[in-house]
Amino acid sequence: TVKTLAYKYGIDTLIQGFAETRDFLMATDKHTASKLRLLIVGGGPDRASMEQLAKSLNISDVTEFTGAVPYGKVPEYLNRLDIYVAASRRESFGVAILEASACALPVIVTNVGGLPEVVEDGVTGIIIPKDDHHALAKAIEKLLLNQELRDRMGHAGLKRVIDHYNWVDSVTVMENIY
């Protein structure tokens, strides 16, 4: 994910869901489990507690906390991912989701704020209930174990961004509102 490490963004839910997925795969598919990595890009007030949570769940060795990065570097980090997760408890519009989709990533988001507006459930990504790390684990597992589904959702997300969120049309809509 690329988010501020603050309670409202549900980074703890992401860490718990990732750990649950990894634990399940360690028991059923050690080869796949051994490849899993969690990349958390962003700084914020909850960084120390999130690092401690990862340690307590025995995933600190496969979890990278980058801290804050310049906005211009965000695409480099997004392009390191196979799946983008936004486990937010509160969210406005979902610009970060559009950025991930523009990088052809399948997304997993919670059903809060504007996130369901920018994700077409089952087509460009998966929408789950907020604060449900079990549902998140199942969604990660579903995408992780199906490369064709990841590719299809990622490409559909990119197409959705191009078709509905290009810069010129978005500015025109905003101008008309004002």
For the chain (178 residues), the mean pLDDT of every run of 10, in chain order, is 97 98 96 96 98 98 97 96 98 92 98 96 98 98 97 98 82 79
Residue 169's pLDDT is what?
A: 72
Residue 50's pLDDT is what?
A: 98
Residue 166's pLDDT is what?
A: 76
Residue 89's pLDDT is what?
A: 98
CA distances for 48 relative to 88, 158, 161, 162, angstroms = 19, 34, 34, 37
Residue 175's pLDDT is what?
A: 84
pTM: 0.94
Q: What is the pLDDT of residues 117-165, one digit of tens each?
A: 999 999 999 999 999 999 999 999 999 999 999 999 999 999 999 999 8
Alpha carbons 145 and 156: distance in angstroms, whole number = 19
CB 83 within 8 A of CB 150: yes
CB 9 within 8 A of CB 87: yes
